[in-house]
Structures are given as structure tokens and as C-alpha cells.
Amino acid sequence: MKKIKMRKKPLSLAEKNAIGIFLSIMICTAALLASMYSLVKRTTRQLYEDKALQLSQTMANILNAGQQPTEPEAYNEMMASLEQNDFFNAEEYYRGMGKYLLSFQYTYNDIKFMYIQRVDTERDVVTYLADMDDTDPYSYGDEVPFAEANLNKTLDEILLHPFTSTGKDGWLCSSLAPIAYESDTSAIAVGVDISMELVRRHIFREMAVIAGISLLISLTMALLTGFSLNRTIIRPVTELSDAASCYDSALLLQDVQSKLSQLNIHTGDEIETLSSSVQKMEREIKQYVMDLTQATAANERISAELNIAANIQSAMLPSTFPAFPDRDDFDLYATMHPAKEVGGDFYDFFLLDYDHLAFIAADVSGKGVPAALFMVIAKTLIRNQAQFGLPPEKVFTKVNMQLCEHNDAQMFVTAWMGILELSTGKVVYSNAGHTHPAVIRRDGSCEYIKAPAGFVLAGMEMMQFKQGELQLSPGDTLFLYTDGVTEATNGEEELFGEAKLLEALDGTADDSPQEMIGKVKASIDGFVKDAPQFDDITMLAVKYKGEGTDVFTETRTFVAVKENLPTVTDWLEELLSGYDCPMKLVHKLNISAEEIFINIANYAYPQGTSTVDLTFHYRSNPRTVQLTFTDKGIPYDPLKKRDPDVTLGAEERKAGGLGIYMVKQYMDNVSYRYEDGRNILTLTLALPEPDPAAHTDTAAVSAT
């Protein structure tokens, strides 16, 4: 069973205050006792040291018969008696002196031990010559190491300088007085040890009394202090804490009086100021929450609108890839990463006809919604003008005139537009103040197209733009970008720059446009790291894959009525006759074209009659024929219709669907897309390679 860990209840302010006062009392009492003990002990020790010194000097004078220690008359006789270990059997004088010393020791009860020693500071030992201890005396000649207090001292520092020590005999105060000097490091001295145990007990008794008095005084002061603190600090703070703990922000917008507003604290100090400040803060928070609620609601509306705007902008940029799945002569990919919810960068690409691909990368000045609105206008105008068949320089000239009208916001657009002729790889382009694109050649080399850039769009009326040409070989890639790429900034305020862009593009010659853009974006992210994005980042890459094949494209517009069907089929047969198309395939293509044309004539325009564009496209490598039907009728995808069950009889099978089913069976590929308000249906048919022998036979017959 899992043990449940109980959470300890935190201490209240009153409890912490009580504990703090108690600890303060204990600390103060302990400090007082320690200082008193040190003072009494030091004073008492000094008294006893003086007393021991007097006793030792008195004994030395008695032994020396009142003479100086350096000139003792009876010193030799006394030493002879001592050497015979017969101190009490020496001459009458010494026997009397010994008795007198013993009586002297007995007279002073404080004397615990009395002895005569040879003090040798050279060896740090004392040698007992006589010991008056009647219980456990040292024998004559016993050597004992110096007491710790006398180590590393000179002879003069030891003699006549009392010291205290603690050992097996208790706390003693000792003093040595010289009888005779033997040398600079040795002397005969009489010693006295005075017991200080009574002093110790006396000190402890005094300390106990002092401790009791101190504790009583401290407790009295603590009670008075605690009462005062409780009334002036703890109780008001507790009331403030309880009121704050009941604070509920959900009640701020309701007409409910909180406990904080009901506080009535009048202590006349900082706590009263704190209470007033908290009440004021509550009022300000309430007002702030009301303002924030309104601002949040407004921001949510704005955020929702920005999300819608971002979705609209995203929908306006082509984002379905592969963009042209039925084309294998080029590949294309593009991305746009706005710095804000919506941005001013944009790109676009579209087929002008089967052999011409237009593509644009542009950057509107500014950020956010204004730039996005101006971007929508610029993108729409550029596409509309380009679809009229104008070259890039004429497109920019007309768009510039239109954008300059009523441009009160003084916004402008930089743009680079190119039109790729897919049959030859030739690119005609115009640059309106935009960054220089890079071309990545099939052999891996990479360089910028440094042709001079013209002025920006919407900057000045009547501007004339120039046009340049670029030749792409199969495998070459054209890389367009906005200044958000080269001006991406890291945390050290360094720019990504054109040199690093070339480094990122290096080694991408064999990559698809999507892989190329992905590597450049990864390089930018690795350079920028966590630094914020300040500008929109837009990239577009077009890889030309044509192999120099023979390509023929022709588009005709027909009125979508059944009476024009023979004209359509005659036109197709005439075109197919020039490409060695077997009659069987011509028949299949005609039947398929007839089915699609009749469906458009019958159903595309229910409110009247309009036209259909039919584009014939031939490629020699591989040999294919494509028919593209484009109409502006009601949106309709015939490929979504379920195929009929041809195993059933005609009377069992549901009507409809058989024609498009037959088209799918005849053709190698059928694709549909709805783009710019147009239905676009493409039929692809592979042609067999022509028979060289048949051409040889035909030539021989002609020669004959």
C-alpha cells in the first residue's frame, strides 16, 4: 500500500513570533551566562593564582632560611638528605622544617599538594625531590613531563608564574617558587597545588542563580513584547492575510464587496499604509480587469479577422504542388513565410499557353494588413495584364500606372517577373527594383542574374521598364526570393547575405525545387536560430527539364455549339496528319474530342452560348499529343462520375457516364482542374515512334 505523505501545515505569524521570542530569550540568556561565567572564572582564577604564588614563595623562604635562592646556606646539607631519600631523618633543622611544612600544608586546607622539584627546561621535565602527598607520593628522582601550560617556556617564565590545569586530581592552581638555581635551564623549586573544585561549585551555583533571574526577566519582557507585537503587528497582518486569501478575481466584475475593501486597520504605521495600498490595488485591478476584458474581446475579434485574412491570403497564393502534374518539361515550387499573421510578399505562376510559363516574386513595402491589401491588388493586376499576352516589361509598365492611381499610402512593390518558353528554355524577364535571382546550372555552378533593376512599382508614374533575356538549358534552375532571405538577421545583428545564399544553393543542382527551397530555409533557420523574424520570407524555384524536343502548340477558340463539331474534327485531323499518327489513334482522338466538345456545348452554359478554347500540343520526346479543353461554364469534374458497369446490358445499365468512360479508356491520361473560374480538361495520348522502313519505301516510290 502506497504511503500517503502528509503535508505539514505552515506556521502562523503568531507561532513564528512566539518561537522567535523564545529562541531570542534562550540565546540572550546563554550569552549572558557565558559572559558571566567567563568573568567570574577569570577573576577567581586570578585570586587563586595570587594565593598560590604567595604560598609557594612563603615555603621557599622557609626552606632557604630567609636567604635569596641563589645563596642558600643549608642547600648542600638539605640536598644530601634529599639524595638519601631521608628528608624526615635529616638534621634537626630539616626535620623541624619538614614538620613545619606539613603543618603548614594542613593549616591551609586549600593546599592539596606540596612538593620540591628540579625544573629542567632543557629537557621539559621535572624531577621530584620530595613529595608531601601522604596518599600517593612521587618517589625521589621520579621524572614527569612538563604540564602543557609550561611547554616551550623559559625557566623564568615558569617560576613565580602560577598556572591552572585540569587532570585526574581535578582543577588545580599551581605555583613554583625557586629555592636554588643550578643553571640557566635548571632550578630547585618548591611547588604548591591549590584545589579549585570549591570555586567551580561556587561558580555553578552563582550561574544557576543568574540564569534563573535572567530567565525570569527575559520571560517577562517576552510576554510584554509578544502582547505588544500581537496588538500592533500580528493581529492587523492576520486580518490582512485572511482578507487577501479570500480574494477572488472572478468577483471583480460583480457588484460584491470583498473582504479587502472591508478592512478597517488603524495602527498609524506602515501596516495601515500597506492595508490602504492593498485596497487601492484591488480597486485598480478591478478597473484593469474590466479594461482587459474589453481589450481581450476586441483582440479576439481582431485575431479572428487576421486569421481569416491569413487564410484568404494563403488561398490567393498557389499552394497545390505539383502545380502541373501533367507536365514533365518543368518543375516548380514556392513558399511564403510571413513575419506577421499576414504579409506583403507574394509569388504567382501560371501558364499563358501550353508553351509559356509566367512566374513572379514580389515584395510590398510595409508589413501586416496594409501590405497584404496592397499585395492582393498588385498580384491581381500583374496576372491580368500577363494573361493578355504582354511581355514582362509591358506588364510592369501598365501595372505601375494602375498602382500609382490613388496611392495615398505611398506604398510600393518590388517585383521580378519572368516568362519561360518551355520549348526552347528562353526566359524573358523584367526587374522592378527586386532582388537579383540566382540561376543554378546543371553542372553545379551558381550565379546571380546581375542585370540592372528598374524602379519599383507604384513609385512613380510614366516609368518605363526594361526587359532582359536568359537562356536555360535542361537541368537548370531559376531561384527567386525576396529580401527577407538575404536580410534575415541573427542574434548578433549579422545579415544572412547573398554570399551565404549562394553557399546554401551550392550542391542543389540535382535537387527538385522543393528540396532546394527546403535546404535554403534550413540554412536560414540555422543562421538565425532563436532571433525573431522581422521580414517576410518568400522563395520560388523553377527547374527547366526540357530536352530540346520538337514541340508544337496551337490554340483555337470555338463557339460551343454542336454545329461546330465537324470544324473541330477537321482541324484535329489536319494537325495529326503531319505527325505520322496511325488512323486508329486518330479515330480514338476524334471520338474523345467529340464527346468532350458535345458535353461542353450541351451542359457548360445553361443560360446561353459561349466559347471553348481547344489547345493542341505535340511533343516528339516522348511522342505525345495533348488536347486541352478550357471553358468558363459551370464547375464540373467529369472524372468524379462513377464508371458504368459495362458487363450489364444496355437495358440494365443506368444512363449516362458511358461517354467519359470511353474517353478514359481511349486516352493514356485524363486530368481535370478548376482554375480562375475555368474548367480545364486535358487528354493525353501517346503516339508510337514512326517506322523508318515505311518512310524509306515511300521515298523510293516517289523517286520512281
Domain boundaries in the chain? Answer: 51-202, 249-309, 317-544, 551-696
The pLDDT assigned to 560 comes to 92
Does position 89 have pLDDT exceeding 60, yes or no?
A: no
Mean pLDDT for 523-542 is 91
Q: Which three cell numbers stand for residue 363?
A: 515584395
**Mean pLDDT on 254-276:** 68
H or E, element range at 658: helix 658-666
Q: What is the mean pLDDT of residues 629-633?
A: 93
Q: Is 313 helix (H, G, I), strand (E, B) or coil?
A: helix
Question: Which residue carries 522581422 as its cell?
Answer: 534
Q: Whose grid coordinates read 630539616?
A: 94
- What would the grid cell of residue 222 be? 517576552
Cα-only R_g, the chain: 58
CATH architecture label of 317-544: 4-Layer Sandwich (3.60)
Cβ–Cβ under 8 Å, residues 550 and 620: yes
Is the peptide bond between 318 and the residue preceding it cis, with omega within 30 degrees of 0?
no
Using pLDDT thresholds of 50, 70 and 90, give the confidence band for residue 163: confident
Is the model's pLDDT at 257 over the cut of 70? no
Rounded average pLDDT over 74-90 = 50
Choice between 632 and 311, residue whose per-residue pLDDT is larger: 632
* 292/130 Cα distance (integer angstroms): 101
More confident residue, 284 or 448: 448
CA distance 455 to 397: 11
Q: Which three cell numbers stand for residue 117?
A: 622539584
Q: Which DSSP string do the residues of 495-508 spell out, in sequence order?
A: B-HHHHHHHHHTT-
Decide if 51-202 and 551-696 have a common fold. no
Average pLDDT over residues 344-371: 86
Across the strands, what pairs with 615?
A: 555, 628
Q: Dump pLDDT digits (tens) for 98-131.
A: 566 666 666 666 688 888 889 998 899 999 887 7
Q: Across residues 204-228, what is the average pLDDT?
A: 78
Cell of 230: 500581537
* More confident site: 133 or 634: 634
Choice among 94-98, 243-247, 421-425 with the minimum mean pLDDT: 94-98
Question: Residue 590 — pLDDT band, cuts 50, 70, 90?
Answer: very high
Q: Report whether 668 contacts 685 (CB < 8 A).
A: yes
Q: How confident is the model at residue 372 (pLDDT cuts 50, 70, 90)?
A: confident
Among 601, 671, 658, 673, which Cα is nearest to 633's?
A: 601
Q: What's the confidence (pLDDT) of residue 54?
A: 85
Check if the beta carbon of residue 338 is closer than 8 Å to that of residue 392: no
In this prediction, residues 539-559 reach a mean pLDDT of 83
614 band by pLDDT with thresholds 50, 70 and 90: very high
Residues 537 and 524 sit within 8 Å (Cβ to Cβ): yes
The cell for 258 is 470583498
Nearest C-alpha neighbor of 467 from the set 426, 411, 438, 498 = 426
| CATH 3.30.450, applies to 51-202 | yes
Average pLDDT score over the chain: 81
> Do the beta carbons of residue 396 and residue 457 sit within 8 Å?
yes
CA 516/CA 12 separation, integer angstroms: 67
Q: In what order do the strands lie in the sheet with 356-364?
A: 345-353, 356-364, 413-421, 426-432, 468-471
The CATH homologous superfamily for domain 551-696 is Histidine kinase-like ATPase, C-terminal domain (3.30.565.10)
CA distance 417 to 420: 10
Instruction: Cell numbers for 28, please give them.
Output: 540572550
Question: In which residue are the cell numbers 537541368 written?
Answer: 475
Amino acid 208: pLDDT: 79
